[in-house]
Amino acid sequence: MSMVVLPVRTRHREEMVDLTGQVRKLARGVDSGTVWLHCPHTTAALTIQENADPDLKVDYLTHLAKLIPQAGFRHSEGNADAHIKASLVGTTQPVLIEDGELVLGRWQAIYFVELDGPRERQVLARVSK
């Protein structure tokens, strides 16, 4: 399968956007394989995390901000914290596919992690069979 571009629009400087539904569509009709997700941005990331309690997203971003506050960097654009957070969280996620379904745990979802928004972003996806 060729590369697919998944558009992501964020509305806040930091937020988590659930991409699971978009990625699930890519798995349809695939007996067995992997969907590779890549975030081509230096101030955003991808993670697989709990989807049951919305407070987890708040906690996740709040504690990332405590670990790496926005202030105190030399980088002139004012977003050095976002670059560091994106590097720590990561830009690529492989997700297994079996019988046309994503192999995720009961409470797992795939999230785009915006760290310097709001912006128009994209995630690149490719299914390997």
pLDDT, tens digit, 9 for 90 and up, residues 4-30: 999 999 999 999 999 999 999 999 999
The percentage of residues in the chain with a pLDDT greater than 90, rounded to a whole number, is: 91
- Listed by start position, the domains of the chain span 4-128
pLDDT, tens digit, 9 for 90 and up, residues 73-126: 788 888 999 999 999 999 999 999 999 999 999 999 999 999 999 999 999 999
pTM for this prediction: 0.95
Measured CA to CA, the distance from residue 82 to residue 14 in angstroms comes to: 9
pLDDT, tens digit, 9 for 90 and up, residues 26-47: 999 999 999 999 999 999 999 9
Mean pLDDT of 64-77: 88
Instruction: Give the homologous superfamily in CATH for domain 4-128.
Output: YjbQ-like (2.60.120.460)
Q: Which residue has the tokens 């919305």?
A: 54
